[in-house]
Amino acid sequence: MPLNFGVAPDHPEVKNVINTFTKTAEHPRLRYFGNVSLGTDVSLKELRERYHAVLLTYGADQDRELELENEQQGNVISARKFVAWYNGLPGAENLNPDLNGRDVTIVGQGNVAVDVARMLLSPLDALRVTDTTEYALEALSRSQVERVHLVGRRGPLQAAFTIKELREMLKLPNVDTRWRTDDFSGVDSLVEKLQRPRKRLTELMLKSLKEQGRASGAAGSKQFLPIFLRAPKAINLGEMEFSVTKLQEDYAVATDNTERLPSDLILRSIGYKSSCVDSDINFDTRRGRVHNTEGRVLKDTEKIDPGLYVAGWLGTGPTGVILTTMSGAFAVAKSICDDIAANVLDTSCAKPGYDAADKRVVTWDGWKRIDQFESEAGKAKGKPREKIVSIQEMLKVAGV
């Protein structure tokens, strides 16, 4: 389940959305096919021949890159891969991030970036009771990381993280959050004009900024260092160079000034994009998403392709939080129902559905066996679950 691999281990409440999916999956008219990949095990053409409607929802599995020289060196990895590593996504267990240095620089200021910073700075005992993988806990127990820089191109008023994630960072024990006063120049005067969510977030940042000089961090404390108005310029040995930026109509424009930050490990978190897994998908390679209008996939730039739909980041691009995606999915589901009711789709004759006779398919019962196995393994260690990180082991447990 994607929730097990994408949601932060210390956010178990977010994973409760799985309960809604479980209720749907238990419906007698739903068939679940796990271990089946579109474009590899089955084509879009075959699915469309076997179903009246096909909904594409395979998400955004690729990273946007900085496009800088030396970006492919070993100490530069994507936050997506780092999240997959500590969450136990099969295939990510061999990432082996180098945590022997003092300084980590995270490029990007969204919630994923803050999740990664929190994982790096959280007390190990707090993580031991989550479903963080054992190999990640072992690596984090030996971590020498003391400072995490969270760097963004724009200013505090454009920060992409939400108030919940910031509150959690500010409450981390033995972690000293340090803002730069100059980053907040003039922000005070704009607070009252902001929309409520942005206003509350900005007020919390200003409150933390005001309080940070009252007492120095405790001996041995780690540091969380949010830095605004900096754009990536170069990756050098042990450091990263940034252009100082200024805002012009909310856009970050690089100036001639630069700053270098010590960076033993660099984590890239500047967004995601989807991939085109089947040649019959009308895919926008520039934007990294499927061409569509309100979830209805387009044949070309304007004409709707009846019976083919898309939801989630595959259709919208990487924007919003889980609730945003859920709302969008409900809207697309309504569009499908509306099209059936309006006879846009001819459902007068039954279609055969997918034939998985020659495939190693994990059924819903098979998934439940995996779920039970992981839960019992975790219970023995005082954790919600201990994830299986091998696909072959999963198939074995599922009885495939």
**Under a CB-based contact definition with an 8 Å cutoff, are residues 260 and 239 in contact?**
yes
Q: What are phi and psi of 119, to 5 degrees?
A: -65, -35
230-236 β-sheet, strand order: 230-236, 239-248, 251-262
Residue 391 marked in a binding site: no
CATH architecture of 65-270: 3-Layer(bba) Sandwich (3.50)
> Are the beta carbons of 260 and 274 closer than 8 angstroms?
no
Tell whether residue 111 is among the known ligand binding residues: yes
Domain 1-61+278-348 = CATH 3.40.50.720: yes
User: 321 among the known binding-site residues?
Assistant: yes
DSSP 38: B
Q: Is 322 known to sit in a ligand binding site? A: yes
* 317 appears as a binding residue in the annotation: no
Q: Specify the amino acid at residue 116.
A: V
C-alpha to C-alpha distance for 384 and 382, rounded to whole angstroms = 7
For residue 255, which phi and psi values (nearest 5 degrees)? -100, -175
Q: What is the DSSP letter of 269?
A: -
> Any binding-site annotation on 38?
yes
CA distances from 103 to 81, 110, 240, 365 (A): 19, 19, 11, 45
Determine whether the annotation assigns residue 179 to a binding site: no
Q: Where are the domains of the chain?
A: 1-61+278-348, 65-270, 356-399
Is 266 marked as binding a ligand?
Answer: no
Please indicate if the annotation marks 165 as binding a ligand. Answer: yes
Bridge partners of residue 230, in order along the sequence: 244
- Token pair for residue 282? 């009308």
Amino acid at position 60, single letter: A
Q: Is 154 part of any known ligand binding site? A: yes
Encode the chain (400 residues) as per-residue pLDDT tens digits. Answer: 445 555 667 665 665 667 778 888 999 999 999 999 999 999 999 999 999 999 999 999 999 999 999 999 999 999 999 999 999 999 999 999 999 999 999 999 999 999 999 999 999 999 999 999 999 999 999 999 999 999 999 999 999 999 999 999 999 999 999 999 999 999 999 999 999 999 999 999 999 999 986 655 555 589 999 999 999 999 999 999 999 999 998 899 999 999 999 999 999 999 999 999 999 999 999 999 999 999 999 997 789 999 999 999 999 998 887 888 989 999 999 999 999 999 999 999 999 999 988 889 999 999 999 999 999 999 999 999 999 999 999 999 999 8
Give yes or no on whether 1-61+278-348 and 65-270 have one common fold: no
Q: Is 313 annotated as a binding residue?
A: yes
